[in-house]
């Protein structure tokens, strides 16, 4: 059972989406919910339908005390590694909030080191903590929209379908058409395609 830290008024939840995909940024969100303006139906974004996520994302943006997005691009992911890039993107989301929280609840088991705000990591936080659920929904909707935009730019890769994850379809398209500038070069399937092109 999760218990909120005592004695803090403004508590932000932060989560990331997009650690597994082979393409694009890792996107994070930070949300401070308004206890006087509750939102029904918050849950881990992966467990919600797309329609429900979109509706909740709008409601979160309207009702939250503050919300923001953060990101780390594919180049940063390749340079740092996906975990470090995710943590940096989380810090960026928290620092972009228009009101700074007194405490941050982070999904996962690691706390970003440059937060400079008291924080707690919570494994499966996106299922246990409303603020983290809200952050996971905003991050997922934002990243999915980026993949849909990339799909319009490069329709042959079917990004709207697989959202950049290493599905059978994505791996087939990658083998057929090669890696894009947006692909993460440090990820094994992309690296393999690049190596086969250079030989």
State yes or no: 15 annotated in a binding site.
Answer: yes
d(CA 113, CA 100): 16
Exposed (0-12), middle (13-18) or buried (19+): which is 82, by Cβ within 10 Å? buried
Rounded Cα distance between 170 and 21, Å, is: 10
40 is in an annotated binding site: no
Per DSSP bridges, beta strands 11-17 and 26-32 are: antiparallel
- CA 96 vs CA 14, 59, 100, 107, 139: distances in Å: 12, 20, 8, 18, 14
Helix, strand, coil content of the chain in percent (nearest 5): 50, 15, 35
CA 159 remoteness from chain centre = 17
The span from the CA of 171 to the CA of 165, in Å, is 9
Residues in the annotated binding site: 15-16, 107
Binding-site residue numbers for a divalent metal cation are: 15-16, 107
């Amino acid at each position: 059972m999760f218990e909120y830290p005592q004695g803090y008024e403004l508590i932000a939840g932060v989560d990331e989406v997009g650690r597994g995909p082979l393409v694009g940024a890792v996107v994070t969100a930070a949300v401070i919910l308004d206890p006087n303006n509750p939102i029904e139906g918050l849950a881990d974004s992966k467990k919600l339908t797309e329609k429900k996520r979109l509706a909740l994302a709008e409601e979160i943006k309207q009702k939250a005390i503050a919300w923001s997005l953060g990101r780390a691009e594919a180049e940063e992911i390749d340079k740092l590694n996906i975990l470090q890039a995710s943590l940096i993107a989380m810090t960026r989301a928290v620092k972009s909030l228009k009101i700074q929280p007194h405490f941050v609840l982070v999904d996962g088991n690691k706390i970003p080191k440059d937060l400079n705000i008291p924080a707690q990591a919570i494994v499966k936080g996106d299922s246990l903590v409303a603020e983290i659920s809200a952050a996971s929904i905003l991050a997922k909707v934002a990243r999915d929209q980026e993949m849909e935009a990339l799909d319009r730019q490069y329709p042959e890769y079917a990004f709207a379908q697989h959202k950049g994850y290493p599905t059978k379809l994505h791996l087939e398209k990658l083998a057929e058409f090669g890696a894009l500038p947006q692909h993460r070069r440090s990820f094994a399937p992309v690296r393999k395609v690049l190596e086969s092109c250079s030989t």
